[in-house]
Protein backbone atom coordinates (compact mmCIF):
# COMPACT_ATOMS: atom_id res chain seq x y z
CA UNK A 1 0.00 0.00 0.00
CA UNK A 2 1.56 3.29 -1.12
CA UNK A 3 1.60 6.59 0.76
CA UNK A 4 0.14 9.77 -0.67
CA UNK A 5 2.81 12.44 -0.73
CA UNK A 6 3.43 15.87 -2.18
CA UNK A 7 5.23 14.59 -5.29
CA UNK A 8 2.33 12.32 -6.25
CA UNK A 9 -0.20 15.14 -5.87
CA UNK A 10 1.95 17.75 -7.62
CA UNK A 11 2.26 15.47 -10.64
CA UNK A 12 -1.54 15.16 -10.92
CA UNK A 13 -2.59 18.80 -10.51
CA UNK A 14 -3.02 20.60 -13.82
CA UNK A 15 -1.55 24.07 -14.26
CA UNK A 16 -4.09 26.75 -15.16
CA UNK A 17 -3.87 28.54 -18.48
CA UNK A 18 -3.80 32.29 -17.93
CA UNK A 19 -6.32 32.72 -20.76
CA UNK A 20 -8.84 30.33 -19.19
CA UNK A 21 -12.34 31.29 -18.07
CA UNK A 22 -14.89 29.85 -15.64
CA UNK A 23 -16.32 27.57 -18.29
CA UNK A 24 -13.01 25.70 -18.41
CA UNK A 25 -13.31 24.49 -14.83
CA UNK A 26 -16.67 22.80 -14.74
CA UNK A 27 -20.01 23.30 -13.05
CA UNK A 28 -20.41 21.41 -9.78
CA UNK A 29 -23.72 20.49 -8.18
CA UNK A 30 -24.02 19.94 -4.46
CA UNK A 31 -27.15 18.31 -3.04
CA UNK A 32 -26.80 19.28 0.59
CA UNK A 33 -28.58 20.67 3.62
CA UNK A 34 -32.04 20.45 5.16
CA UNK A 35 -33.88 22.18 7.99
CA UNK A 36 -31.47 22.52 10.90
CA UNK A 37 -28.53 21.21 8.83
CA UNK A 38 -27.80 24.02 6.41
CA UNK A 39 -24.32 24.35 7.88
CA UNK A 40 -23.40 21.19 5.98
CA UNK A 41 -24.41 22.82 2.70
CA UNK A 42 -22.54 26.04 3.49
CA UNK A 43 -19.34 24.21 4.45
CA UNK A 44 -19.43 21.94 1.38
CA UNK A 45 -20.14 24.89 -0.91
CA UNK A 46 -17.35 27.05 0.49
CA UNK A 47 -14.82 24.20 0.21
CA UNK A 48 -15.97 23.45 -3.34
CA UNK A 49 -15.43 27.03 -4.47
CA UNK A 50 -12.08 27.33 -2.68
CA UNK A 51 -10.74 24.38 -4.66
CA UNK A 52 -11.27 25.82 -8.09
CA UNK A 53 -14.48 24.78 -9.82
CA UNK A 54 -15.69 27.37 -12.30
CA UNK A 55 -19.35 27.35 -11.27
CA UNK A 56 -21.28 25.93 -8.35
CA UNK A 57 -24.98 25.30 -7.90
CA UNK A 58 -26.37 24.04 -4.60
CA UNK A 59 -29.61 22.06 -4.38
CA UNK A 60 -31.42 23.06 -1.18
CA UNK A 61 -34.97 22.96 0.23
CA UNK A 62 -37.12 25.93 -0.71
CA UNK A 63 -37.52 27.08 2.89
CA UNK A 64 -33.74 27.24 3.35
CA UNK A 65 -32.68 29.11 0.22
CA UNK A 66 -32.10 32.45 1.97
CA UNK A 67 -29.51 30.91 4.29
CA UNK A 68 -27.28 29.87 1.41
CA UNK A 69 -27.80 32.92 -0.77
CA UNK A 70 -26.70 35.25 2.00
CA UNK A 71 -23.69 33.22 3.16
CA UNK A 72 -22.28 31.98 -0.19
CA UNK A 73 -23.07 34.70 -2.73
CA UNK A 74 -20.76 33.04 -5.28
CA UNK A 75 -23.01 29.98 -5.50
CA UNK A 76 -26.21 29.56 -7.49
CA UNK A 77 -29.25 27.70 -6.17
CA UNK A 78 -31.82 25.22 -7.37
CA UNK A 79 -34.81 24.34 -5.24
CA UNK A 80 -34.99 20.69 -4.24
CA UNK A 81 -38.75 20.44 -4.56
CA UNK A 82 -38.87 21.94 -8.07
CA UNK A 83 -35.75 21.48 -10.14
CA UNK A 84 -34.76 17.81 -10.28
CA UNK A 85 -35.04 17.71 -14.05
CA UNK A 86 -32.30 20.29 -14.66
CA UNK A 87 -29.27 18.21 -13.64
CA UNK A 88 -27.98 17.54 -17.16
CA UNK A 89 -25.98 20.80 -17.31
CA UNK A 90 -23.69 19.94 -14.39
CA UNK A 91 -20.21 18.44 -14.75
CA UNK A 92 -20.21 16.52 -11.45
CA UNK A 93 -22.23 16.21 -8.26
CA UNK A 94 -21.71 15.72 -4.55
CA UNK A 95 -24.68 14.30 -2.68
CA UNK A 96 -25.44 13.74 0.97
CA UNK A 97 -24.22 16.29 3.53
CA UNK A 98 -27.14 17.08 5.81
CA UNK A 99 -29.90 16.04 3.38
CA UNK A 100 -31.65 13.71 5.82
CA UNK A 101 -33.04 10.23 5.19
CA UNK A 102 -36.52 10.67 3.74
CA UNK A 103 -38.67 9.30 0.95
CA UNK A 104 -37.90 12.44 -1.07
CA UNK A 105 -34.12 12.27 -0.70
CA UNK A 106 -34.16 8.54 -1.48
CA UNK A 107 -36.08 9.23 -4.68
CA UNK A 108 -33.66 12.02 -5.57
CA UNK A 109 -30.69 9.68 -5.13
CA UNK A 110 -32.36 7.09 -7.35
CA UNK A 111 -33.05 9.75 -9.97
CA UNK A 112 -29.40 10.81 -10.00
CA UNK A 113 -28.21 7.22 -10.34
CA UNK A 114 -30.42 6.63 -13.35
CA UNK A 115 -30.38 10.01 -15.11
CA UNK A 116 -27.29 12.03 -14.20
CA UNK A 117 -24.54 10.04 -15.97
CA UNK A 118 -21.77 12.28 -14.64
CA UNK A 119 -19.14 11.75 -11.89
CA UNK A 120 -20.51 11.74 -8.34
CA UNK A 121 -19.43 11.82 -4.71
CA UNK A 122 -21.65 10.08 -2.15
CA UNK A 123 -21.29 11.08 1.50
CA UNK A 124 -23.16 11.21 4.79
CA UNK A 125 -26.92 10.74 4.35
CA UNK A 126 -26.50 9.49 0.78
CA UNK A 127 -24.48 6.62 2.24
CA UNK A 128 -27.00 6.13 5.03
CA UNK A 129 -29.80 5.91 2.46
CA UNK A 130 -27.84 3.23 0.66
CA UNK A 131 -27.25 1.37 3.92
CA UNK A 132 -31.01 1.02 4.37
CA UNK A 133 -31.62 0.26 0.67
CA UNK A 134 -28.92 -2.25 -0.29
CA UNK A 135 -30.55 -2.78 -3.69
CA UNK A 136 -29.16 0.63 -4.66
CA UNK A 137 -25.68 -0.84 -5.03
CA UNK A 138 -26.77 -2.46 -8.28
CA UNK A 139 -27.62 1.01 -9.62
CA UNK A 140 -24.57 2.97 -8.47
CA UNK A 141 -22.65 4.39 -11.46
CA UNK A 142 -19.10 3.17 -12.07
CA UNK A 143 -16.29 5.34 -10.66
CA UNK A 144 -18.49 7.05 -8.12
CA UNK A 145 -16.55 8.20 -5.05
CA UNK A 146 -17.84 6.93 -1.68
CA UNK A 147 -16.54 8.70 1.43
CA UNK A 148 -17.62 6.73 4.53
CA UNK A 149 -16.26 7.20 8.03
CA UNK A 150 -15.91 3.90 9.95
CA UNK A 151 -19.47 3.77 11.30
CA UNK A 152 -20.94 4.60 7.89
CA UNK A 153 -18.74 1.93 6.33
CA UNK A 154 -19.91 -0.70 8.81
CA UNK A 155 -23.55 0.21 8.17
CA UNK A 156 -22.94 -0.25 4.45
CA UNK A 157 -20.87 -3.41 4.43
CA UNK A 158 -21.06 -5.04 7.86
CA UNK A 159 -19.22 -4.51 11.13
CA UNK A 160 -15.44 -4.83 10.93
CA UNK A 161 -13.49 -5.75 14.06
CA UNK A 162 -10.31 -3.78 13.37
CA UNK A 163 -9.09 -0.83 11.31
CA UNK A 164 -7.02 -3.22 9.19
CA UNK A 165 -10.02 -5.45 8.44
CA UNK A 166 -12.05 -2.43 7.42
CA UNK A 167 -9.29 -1.24 5.07
CA UNK A 168 -8.94 -4.61 3.34
CA UNK A 169 -12.72 -4.84 3.09
CA UNK A 170 -12.83 -1.36 1.53
CA UNK A 171 -10.33 -2.43 -1.13
CA UNK A 172 -12.44 -5.49 -1.93
CA UNK A 173 -15.69 -3.51 -2.06
CA UNK A 174 -14.17 -0.83 -4.28
CA UNK A 175 -13.19 -3.50 -6.78
CA UNK A 176 -16.50 -5.34 -6.49
CA UNK A 177 -18.62 -2.25 -7.14
CA UNK A 178 -16.16 -0.46 -9.46
CA UNK A 179 -16.08 2.63 -7.26
CA UNK A 180 -13.41 4.73 -5.58
CA UNK A 181 -13.51 4.31 -1.81
CA UNK A 182 -12.32 7.06 0.51
CA UNK A 183 -12.33 5.40 3.93
CA UNK A 184 -11.89 8.30 6.32
CA UNK A 185 -9.77 7.95 9.43
CA UNK A 186 -6.45 8.81 11.08
CA UNK A 187 -4.75 7.81 7.82
CA UNK A 188 -7.48 7.97 5.22
CA UNK A 189 -7.44 5.18 2.65
CA UNK A 190 -8.01 6.00 -1.03
CA UNK A 191 -8.54 2.93 -3.22
CA UNK A 192 -10.05 1.91 -6.53
CA UNK A 193 -9.69 -1.75 -5.67
CA UNK A 194 -6.51 -2.13 -7.71
CA UNK A 195 -4.32 0.66 -6.34
CA UNK A 196 -4.46 1.86 -2.74
CA UNK A 197 -2.96 4.86 -0.98
CA UNK A 198 -2.77 5.95 2.66
CA UNK A 199 -2.84 9.69 3.22
CA UNK A 200 0.03 11.36 5.05
CA UNK A 201 -1.57 14.71 5.89
CA UNK A 202 -4.15 15.78 8.47
CA UNK A 203 -4.44 15.82 12.22
CA UNK A 204 -6.94 15.34 15.04
CA UNK A 205 -8.24 18.88 14.58
CA UNK A 206 -10.33 17.38 11.77
CA UNK A 207 -12.14 15.17 14.29
CA UNK A 208 -15.06 17.60 14.36
CA UNK A 209 -18.38 18.16 12.68
CA UNK A 210 -18.14 19.54 9.17
CA UNK A 211 -14.85 17.98 8.10
CA UNK A 212 -16.56 15.40 5.90
CA UNK A 213 -18.84 18.05 4.40
CA UNK A 214 -15.80 20.06 3.34
CA UNK A 215 -14.19 16.98 1.80
CA UNK A 216 -17.34 16.31 -0.24
CA UNK A 217 -17.20 19.85 -1.61
CA UNK A 218 -13.51 19.49 -2.45
CA UNK A 219 -13.94 16.17 -4.23
CA UNK A 220 -16.93 17.48 -6.18
CA UNK A 221 -14.88 20.46 -7.30
CA UNK A 222 -12.04 18.33 -8.68
CA UNK A 223 -14.49 16.02 -10.45
CA UNK A 224 -16.17 19.03 -12.05
CA UNK A 225 -12.77 20.25 -13.25
CA UNK A 226 -12.29 17.05 -15.21
CA UNK A 227 -10.07 14.95 -12.98
CA UNK A 228 -10.83 11.23 -12.88
CA UNK A 229 -12.50 9.89 -9.76
CA UNK A 230 -9.26 8.33 -8.51
CA UNK A 231 -7.25 11.49 -9.24
CA UNK A 232 -9.86 13.70 -7.55
CA UNK A 233 -9.90 11.45 -4.47
CA UNK A 234 -6.13 11.51 -4.10
CA UNK A 235 -5.81 15.27 -4.58
CA UNK A 236 -8.83 16.08 -2.41
CA UNK A 237 -7.87 13.91 0.54
CA UNK A 238 -4.26 15.13 0.56
CA UNK A 239 -5.21 18.82 0.16
CA UNK A 240 -7.91 18.60 2.86
CA UNK A 241 -5.41 17.17 5.33
CA UNK A 242 -2.64 19.59 4.35
CA UNK A 243 -4.93 22.59 4.86
CA UNK A 244 -5.69 21.25 8.35
CA UNK A 245 -1.96 20.94 9.08
CA UNK A 246 -1.42 24.53 7.94
CA UNK A 247 -4.33 25.68 10.12
CA UNK A 248 -2.34 24.50 13.15
CA UNK A 249 -0.02 27.47 12.63
CA UNK A 250 -2.74 29.68 14.13
CA UNK A 251 -4.99 27.16 15.90
CA UNK A 252 -4.67 24.15 18.16
CA UNK A 253 -6.23 20.79 17.44
CA UNK A 254 -8.80 21.63 20.10
CA UNK A 255 -9.71 25.05 18.71
CA UNK A 256 -9.57 24.31 14.98
CA UNK A 257 -12.85 24.66 13.06
CA UNK A 258 -13.46 23.37 9.56
CA UNK A 259 -13.93 26.98 8.46
CA UNK A 260 -10.31 27.59 9.56
CA UNK A 261 -9.24 24.66 7.38
CA UNK A 262 -11.13 25.96 4.35
CA UNK A 263 -9.40 29.33 4.73
CA UNK A 264 -6.04 27.53 4.50
CA UNK A 265 -6.78 25.77 1.22
CA UNK A 266 -4.99 28.50 -0.76
CA UNK A 267 -1.81 28.05 1.30
CA UNK A 268 -2.13 24.29 0.83
CA UNK A 269 -2.19 24.68 -2.96
CA UNK A 270 0.88 26.94 -2.81
CA UNK A 271 2.72 24.44 -0.59
CA UNK A 272 2.08 21.63 -3.06
CA UNK A 273 3.15 23.62 -6.09
CA UNK A 274 6.44 24.93 -4.63
Catalogue all structural domains in the chain, each as residue range(s) with its CATH number: 2-13+22-273 (3.40.1190.20)
The reply to whether the predicted model has a pTM over 0.85 is yes
Report the chain's terminal Cα–Cα distance, integer Å. 26
pLDDT in tens, the chain (274 residues): 899 999 999 999 999 999 999 999 999 999 999 999 999 999 999 999 999 999 999 999 999 999 999 999 999 999 998 865 578 899 999 999 999 999 999 999 999 999 999 999 999 999 999 999 999 999 999 999 999 999 999 999 999 999 999 999 999 999 999 999 999 999 999 999 999 999 999 999 999 999 999 999 999 999 999 999 999 999 999 999 999 999 999 999 999 999 999 999 999 999 999 8
Per-residue pLDDT, 187: 96
E strand or H helix at 27, and its extent?
strand 27-31
Amino acid sequence: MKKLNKNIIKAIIKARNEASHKGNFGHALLVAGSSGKMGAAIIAARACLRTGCGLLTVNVPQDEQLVLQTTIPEAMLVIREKDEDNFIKFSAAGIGPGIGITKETTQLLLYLFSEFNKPMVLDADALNIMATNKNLFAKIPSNTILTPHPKEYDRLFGVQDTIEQRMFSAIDKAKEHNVVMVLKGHRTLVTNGTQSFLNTTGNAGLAKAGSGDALTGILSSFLAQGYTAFEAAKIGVYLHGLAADIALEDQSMESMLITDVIECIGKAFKTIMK
